[in-house]
Structure 1
Amino acid sequence: MKRIAVLTSGGDAPGMNAAIRAVVRKGHHHGLDVIGVRRGYTGLIQGDFVTMDLGSVGDIIHRGGTVLYSARSEEFKTPEGREKAVANLKEYGIDGLVVIGGDGSFRGAQLLSDHGFKAVGVPGTIDNDIPGTDFTIGFDTAVNTVIENIDRIRDTATSHERTYIVEVMGRDAGDIALWAGLADGAESILIPEASYELDDIVDRLARGSRRGKKHSIIIVAEGVGSGVEIGRQIKEKTGSETRVTVLGHIQRGGSPTAFDRVLASRMGAKAVDILLEEKSDQMVAIRNNEITGIDFDQAFSMKHQPDMSIYDLAGILAI
């Protein structure tokens, strides 16, 4: 192993830059050349490569997004596209690749491994929906962004005695809604992994009103449905003034939290260690605060499930 490359793929997540920095500097620590691939798998096919030295990753650990940019590639899904990617990697003398991204990015890395090229994945996605790891890079920052915005919304909800529905990201996973909901004392949390009845939400609002509660916060993961539509239904049922806020892509940006910077640094460094051990077809994971590597096949065989004890506790505490 003399030369490795690193790319970011899929949706950006705060902490990706910290992971890039760790790969580059850990690689140089071991005497490796490190190449950055810009724009994900598209850049791999187009040969959009840049040499990365120690200085090229200076002053990025605190920045959101990714300095290597990110893009989705339909061409890489074809055998011809992957052959171009492998040919470029070989032409540049690259022996191993670190892929920072989510589930789709990891499947791309596994396809490269199937072509006999060593590839390791680092989980970077705000949704925290990668099986096999307790946390993914960017999740903690996204949750804190949601909490900060809900705190602001609560001020207005209190002042005007309103019910606010806040729609957050989470098409297939409700972790952001779940953690933010518990942390911010939401009256109801709607996630894809749990069914809900509108009448139950209305009853909970009514109980709060009877004990003198003047405002309410309901958090909806986007995978459940439209926050606007759910807000309309609640207003029809209760007759109370209801407002909806869709946080959208604001959750992806911003400076990463200390947790995400440390997690990304540990995971990026571990990815280099795995390549130095001449291993491949693995992803880096954190389990019980231990950084380890697990096979892609093992990860793909699992199904992500949020910690439903948090869901139960949130319901109890919001009584």
Structure 2
Amino acid sequence: MKRIGVLTSGGDSPGMNAAIRAVVRKAIYHDIEVYGIYQGYSGLINGQIEKLELGSVGDIIHRGGTMLHTARCEEFKTLEGQKKGIEQLNKFGIEGLVVIGGDGSFQGARKLTEHGFPTIGVPGTIDNDISGTDYTIGFDTALNTVIDAIDKIRDTATSHERTYVVEVMGRDAGDLALWSGLADGAETILVPEVEYNMDDVVSRLKRGADRGKKHSIIIVAEGIGSGVDIGNEIEEKTGFETRVTVLGHIQRGGSPTAADRVLASRLGAKAVELLIDGQEGKMVGIEKNILVAHDIADALSREHQIDAEMYKLSQELSI
């Protein structure tokens, strides 16, 4: 293999630039040319492809977002769109592709492989919802952003003796909510993977108030529903003054943490190694700090699960 491509797709996540850098420099180290594909699958279809050199990825390891930019592309979900993408890859003489993104990006990577084009997926999403890896690129940075925000919210919650509901991202996964809630001592954590009963939430809040607790923090994963609606229901049923904060896209930005920079560098380089070894239709991941590779199709077929023991612990420590 003498020429490969790299693209980022779907939602951006801190550390994507570090992964791009690793792909480019690992490939060039092995005398392989690298072409950057801009605007994700949309850019692939439209031929927004440029050769990348060592200097192209200089001074980006510490930057959030993605230098290749990203977009969602409905056209690439069609057979015609996929064929257009492969035509562009062939036009530029690209023999293998590294796709950095979440499960939607992996769906596209799987389709390319099914059409005979060697593709490797690198998990980049703050949601941490990809099976086959303990962590995805961007999760640690987003988690620390959430924790910093909750720390600040707790200060004002204490000052005003209020109940605060904080809605965090994660799509249909509750990892951001669970990890940040445990790290910040939240009284209640609501995640999509576990059914909740509002009466139990209310009872927990009232028990805390009865023992003299003046404020509470409740973390709501966006996959549960609207944090605003939940906050209104809590205030109605408890009579406690309640405020809601929706953290939104602030969670996707910022300079990646050391953990995300190292993870992205390792996964990006591993993806190139797999292409060199003639593998395709794989995703790279990390399990117990060991780099692994799984079939993308298998990873996509498995439903995401939260750590049940961690969830139980969060309940035990918030009595």
TM-score bracket relative to the smaller structure: over 0.9
Q: CA deviation at 1:247?
A: 0.3
Equivalent in the alignment of 1:32:
32
Equivalent in the alignment of 1:71:
71
Structure-2 separation of matches of 1:288 and 1:223: 27
Q: CA deviation at 1:304?
A: 1.0
Q: Give the 3-state SS of the residue equivalent to 2:35 in structure 1.
A: strand
Code of the residue aligned with 2:163 in structure 1: it is T
Q: Give the 3-state SS of the residue equivalent to 2:136 in structure 1.
A: coil
Structure-2 separation of matches of 1:298 and 1:78: 21
Unaligned runs of 5+ in 1: none
Q: Cα deviations across residues 232-253 of structure 1 (Å, max 9, x unaligned)? A: 1111111111000000111111
Q: Give the 3-state SS of the residue equivalent to 1:36 in structure 2.
A: strand
Structure-2 separation of matches of 1:88 and 1:297: 24
The count of corresponding residues between Structure 1 and Structure 2 is 319
Equivalent in the alignment of 2:318:
318
Code of the residue aligned with 1:14 in structure 2: it is P
Q: CA deviation at 1:96?
A: 0.4
Q: Cα deviations across residues 180-214 of structure 1 (Å, max 9, x unaligned)? A: 00000000000000111111111111121122211
Equivalent in the alignment of 2:107:
107
1:295 aligns with 2:295: yes
Structure-2 separation of matches of 1:79 and 1:301: 21
Aligned 1:3-152 pairs, distance under 5 A:
3-152=3-152
Structure-1 separation of matches of 2:77 and 2:312: 40
Unaligned runs of 5+ in 2: none
Equivalent in the alignment of 1:264:
264
Code of the residue aligned with 1:118 in structure 2: it is P
Code of the residue aligned with 1:27 in structure 2: it is A
Q: Give the 3-state SS of the residue equivalent to 1:42 in structure 2.
A: helix
Structure-2 separation of matches of 1:115 and 1:199: 52
Q: CA deviation at 1:297?
A: 2.2
Q: Give the 3-state SS of the residue equivalent to 1:43 in structure 2.
A: helix
Q: Give the 3-state SS of the residue equivalent to 2:119 in structure 1.
A: strand
Q: Give the 3-state SS of the residue equivalent to 1:142 in structure 2.
A: helix
Q: Cα deviations across residues 27-70 of structure 1 (Å, max 9, x unaligned)? A: 01100100000000011111101111111111111111000000
Structure-2 separation of matches of 1:69 and 1:296: 23
Code of the residue aligned with 2:167 in structure 1: it is E
Equivalent in the alignment of 2:177:
177
Code of the residue aligned with 1:251 in structure 2: it is Q
1:155 aligns with 2:161: no
Q: Cα deviations across residues 243-299 of structure 1 (Å, max 9, x unaligned)? A: 000001111111111110000000000000000001100000111111111111221
Structure-1 separation of matches of 2:293 and 2:177: 28
Pairwise CA RMSD: 0.8
Structure-1 separation of matches of 2:298 and 2:201: 38
Structure-2 separation of matches of 1:174 and 1:33: 39
Equivalent in the alignment of 1:168:
168
Q: Give the 3-state SS of the residue equivalent to 2:196 in structure 1.
A: coil
Code of the residue aligned with 1:216 in structure 2: it is S
1:223 aligns with 2:223: yes
Q: Give the 3-state SS of the residue equivalent to 2:214 in structure 1.
A: coil
Structure-2 separation of matches of 1:292 and 1:194: 29
Code of the residue aligned with 2:232 in structure 1: it is R
The alignment's TM-score, normalised by the length of structure 1, stands at 0.99
Structure-1 separation of matches of 2:110 and 2:196: 37
1:2 aligns with 2:5: no
Q: Give the 3-state SS of the residue equivalent to 1:194 in structure 2.
A: coil
Q: CA deviation at 1:116?
A: 0.9
Structure-2 separation of matches of 1:306 and 1:197: 19
Q: Give the 3-state SS of the residue equivalent to 1:214 in structure 2.
A: coil
Structure-2 separation of matches of 1:84 and 1:200: 53
Q: Give the 3-state SS of the residue equivalent to 2:293 in structure 1.
A: strand
Structure-1 separation of matches of 2:133 and 2:180: 19
1:198 aligns with 2:180: no
- Runs of 4+ with deviation above 2 angstroms: none
Structure-1 separation of matches of 2:240 and 2:253: 33
Structure-1 separation of matches of 2:299 and 2:169: 23
Q: CA deviation at 1:130?
A: 0.5
Structure-1 separation of matches of 2:292 and 2:273: 10
